[in-house]
Structure formats: C-alpha cells, structure tokens
C-alpha cells in the first residue's frame, strides 16, 4: 500500500489542480459576472462581494497551478480544503435561506430564472468530494512527479522516511 | 561491544541526520512561504485587472437618468426600474408580457419607466451581442426611439449560444424602426459601448445579479405585468382594480 500512495497522491493532486484551474478559467474571462455570482449569495456588502468575485478566479488559477506542479503540497492542500469548506458553507447557507441562485462554482452564477430550481445538494456533495481529496493530500502530501519531491531529493546516504513537508 | 571508532561514526551519522532534517525543515518553510506568496500575488493581480476594467470615460445617451445608467421614459410619480439584457430569453418573456401595461401606465402619466439595458450575457453569443445591442439602444435613445427599438430588438432576439445580429443588422433594425442616418453612424462609431459596460457595472453594484429584475419605487417586484401593476397601484395610492 505504501508503495502506491505517491501514485494515488499524484492522481488526487492533478485532479484537484484540474478542478481549480477549470473553475478559475471559466470565470476569469468575465470578472464582473464572477462578482455578481458572489453578490447573489447576499453574504457580503455588494462592493466587497464584487471585489471578492473578481479576485476569486485568479486565486483559483494560482492554487490550481501550485497543485499542478506540486509545490508545498501540504500547504496548498490545506488552503484547498479551507476553500472548499467556505464554498460548502456558502451553498448551504444559500439553500437554508431559500435563495434561488446558481452556485457559480463552474460558471458565472447569479440568480436563476423563474421556474428553474437550484441543484444545491449535488453541488454540496461534489464539493465534499473535493474536500475529501484535499484532506487526503494534507495527510499524504508525498506524490510522484512533484516539485516537492524534486526539491527534497535525498542526498547521499542520509535518506530517512520522514522526508517532505 | 562497539569499538570507539564505530561509536564516533554513529555519532557523526546522528549529527548528519540532524543537519539534513534541519535543512528539510527550512526548505519546507520556504516552499510554503513561496506558495502562499504566489496565491496572494495572484489575488492582487485579479484586483488590479478588475480595477482597471472599470469604465473610464463614458458617453451618456439623451434621455438618460441622473446617474447616467438607464434610459427614462415618461414622467409619472411612481418609478418603475427594469434591468434587461437583450439576449436573455426571460427578458423577452417579461417584455412581451408587460409591454402593453407599461406603455399604458407611461401614457397615463402614472409611472416613470427607467430601463437599464445591461450587458451581463456577452458569453451567450459569439459576438458580444449583449454589449452591442445595449450600445445600439443608447443610440436609439439619442434618436428619440428607444422604446420602439427595444421592441424591435426583442422581436428579433437571437437564440442563446448563437451569433446575434451584427452591427449592420442592428442598424437596419433601427432604420426600420424609424431611426435615421445619425443612428447608423452612432452604432458604427461604437459611441455607447463603454456606456453598456457602465450600465452593467452600476447594476451589479446595485445588487442586480440577474435579468430581468424590476423595482417599483425601489422595491423589488416580480417581473410580470400583474405584479408591476399591483405594485404601482399600491405605491400610487390608487384604488385596487376591482376583481369581477
């Protein structure tokens, strides 16, 4: 099992990287729309939400890029997990307050037209899946083909089994 | 029994391992700091890009409201504000449903209609139809035929995901609606393209996250004729319409 963990780690790391890069790329082309998606949650003052929405795609792209190259995997995994917790909390609160919005997870979100019902439960379950992936990486940050692995390449005979931060 | 030499070698090994561990710890700290910095810098880039995208100099069409982000029709006491995007299917449904009642309320001088032609949905056409149609509606306002032009745009609404009417087609729709050469020039000059962006940004800042959105005297109401008429009657203090 231990032999396979770095390979599983690679899959999880690349998967999570893909999630963030796709999510960021879909929103980065229209920042005001991304801002309106955050406004629609009615959790922040409008101008704050617009700014948060504009920053978020860049944040997601950077996080995705770091996961892709595998730099500081444990830290980026922790940030990913916190991000997912925030998303899950946001969607849950929108659901609890009966808001009729698109979560804006992989789109520009906003209010849904009348007659369209939101899909909060699948969105939450999906984010819980991503959260699980992030937690896995926090626990087992060693993965194949990572920059971390390259940086911490064992030198000479001082190899120990607790390498990697 | 270990010899003295072996003893020394073991001690050296422990020291080497400790040094290596210390080195790894430092590297871990630095890679973590780097990663966090990358993310923070990314956030600042986003902020910068967003701040830069805010519209600079904006032309405002004739008949605009005080904030310069909507076109005003009529002068009645009750203010009805609607936010529409010319490619949004529900905006067409709303327009077709409410058009007659809104026209009546305006002509009876009961309401001031304040229309914000937002361009939220550029991604739903392959040629930024939302922005271009909004800008063209500003040109139509200059020509005094905003309402007629809005009707023409909704009658000829393109399907989402397709290419919307191009500028030449937007011009010919205007000419059919009785606008003149000046309108054509205005569309060609893209005079109100930045205005379309301002209308959208201001709408977002006002908390309008989707279209259609309607306010009657600042209160959000459902985007349909019945709800608007009811809200206008209430706001205007008029007797409710007798039912049967």
CA distance A80 to A86: 10
Mean pLDDT by 10-residue block, N- to C-terminus, for chain A (165 residues)? 87 97 92 89 90 94 96 95 96 90 76 73 94 96 90 60 45
Residue A86 covered by a domain = yes
Which residue in the set B16, B17, B123 is minimally distant from A30, CB to CB?
B123
Residue A132 has a pLDDT of 97
Residue A83 covered by a domain = yes
Residue A151 covered by a domain = no
Residue B238 has a pLDDT of 57
Residue A34 covered by a domain = yes
In words, the CATH class of domain B71-236 is alpha beta
Is residue A80 less than 8 Å (CB to CB) from chain B? no
Nearest-CA neighbor of B157 among B93, B62, B234, B81? Answer: B93
Extended strands (E) in B4-103: 71-73, 78-84
Residue A115 has a pLDDT of 64
Domain boundaries, chain B: 1-53, 71-236
Residue ranges of chain B with pLDDT lower than 70? 1-2, 55-56, 237-244
Residue-range definition of the domain harbouring residue A16:
5-142
Residue B3 has a pLDDT of 74
CA distance A153 to A56: 34
Residue A150 covered by a domain = no
Residue A63 covered by a domain = yes
Q: Tokens for A156, please give them.
A: 């000479």
CB B78 within 8 A of CB B158: no
Residue A156 covered by a domain = no
Counting Cβ atoms within 10 Å, is residue B87 exposed (0-12), middle (13-18) or buried (19+)?
Answer: buried
Residue of B nearest to A153 (CA): B24
The tally of CA atoms less than 13 A away on the side-chain side of residue A30 is: 23
The reported pTM is: 0.75
Instruction: Write the CA distances from B22 to A156, A164, B9, B31, integer angstroms.
Output: 16, 12, 20, 14
Residue B19 has a pLDDT of 92
CB B223 within 8 A of CB B82: yes
Residue B4 has a pLDDT of 81
Enumerate chain B positions whose Cβ falls within 8 A of a Cβ in A. 16-17, 20-21, 24-25, 27-29, 31-32, 34-36, 38-39, 41-43, 45-47, 49-50, 53, 88-90, 120, 122-123, 200-201, 204-210, 213, 222-223
Residue A162 has a pLDDT of 46
Is residue A58 less than 8 Å (CB to CB) from chain B? yes
- Does the distance separating the beta carbons of B46 and A151 come in below 8 Å? no
Total domains in chain A come to: 1
CA distance A160 to B21: 9
Residue A163 has a pLDDT of 44
């Amino acid at each position: 099992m231990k032999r396979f963990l770095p390979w599983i780690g690679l899959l999880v790391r690349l998967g999570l990287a893909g999630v963030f890069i796709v999510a960021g790329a879909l929103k980065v082309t229209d920042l005001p729309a991304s801002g309106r998606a955050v406004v629609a949650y009615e959790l922040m003052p409008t101008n704050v939400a617009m700014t948060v929405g504009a920053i978020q795609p860049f944040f997601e792209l950077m996080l995705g890029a770091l996961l892709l190259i595998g730099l500081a995997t444990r830290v980026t995994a922790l940030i990913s997990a916190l991000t997912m917790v925030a998303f899950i909390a946001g969607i849950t609160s929108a659901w609890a307050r009966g808001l009729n919005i698109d979560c804006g997870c992989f789109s520009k979100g906003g209010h849904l037209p009348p007659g369209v019902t939101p899909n909060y439960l699948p969105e939450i379950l999906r984010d819980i899946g991503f959260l699980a992936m992030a937690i896995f990486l926090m626990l087992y940050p060693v993965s194949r083909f990572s920059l971390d692995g390259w940086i911490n390449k064992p030198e000479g005979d001082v190899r120990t089994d607790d390498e990697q931060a | 029994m270990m010899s003295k030499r072996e003893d020394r070698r073991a001690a050296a090994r422990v020291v080497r391992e400790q040094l290596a561990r210390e080195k790894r710890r430092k590297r871990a700290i630095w890679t973590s700091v780097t990663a966090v910095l990358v993310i923070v810098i990314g956030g600042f880039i986003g902020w910068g890009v967003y701040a830069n995208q805010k519209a600079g100099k904006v032309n405002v069409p004739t008949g605009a409201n005080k904030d310069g982000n909507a076109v005003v029709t009529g002068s009645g006491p009750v203010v009805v504000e609607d936010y529409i995007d010319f490619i949004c299917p529900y905006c067409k449904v709303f327009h077709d449903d409410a058009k007659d009642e809104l026209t009546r309320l305006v002509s009876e001088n009961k309401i001031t209609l304040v229309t914000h032609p937002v361009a939220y949905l550029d991604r739903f056409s392959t040629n930024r139809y939302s922005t271009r149609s909004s800008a063209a509606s500003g040109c139509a306002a200059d020509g005094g035929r905003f309402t007629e032009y809005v009707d023409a745009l909704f009658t000829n609404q393109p399907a989402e995901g397709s290419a919307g009417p191009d500028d030449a087609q937007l011009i010919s729709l205007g000419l059919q609606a009785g606008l003149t050469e000046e309108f054509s020039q205005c569309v060609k000059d893209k005079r109100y393209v930045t205005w379309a962006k301002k209308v959208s940004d201001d709408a977002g800042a006002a908390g309008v996250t989707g279209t259609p959105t309607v306010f009657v005297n600042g209160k959000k109401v459902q985007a349909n004729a019945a709800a608007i008429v009811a809200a206008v009657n209430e706001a205007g203090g008029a007797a409710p319409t007798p039912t049967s």
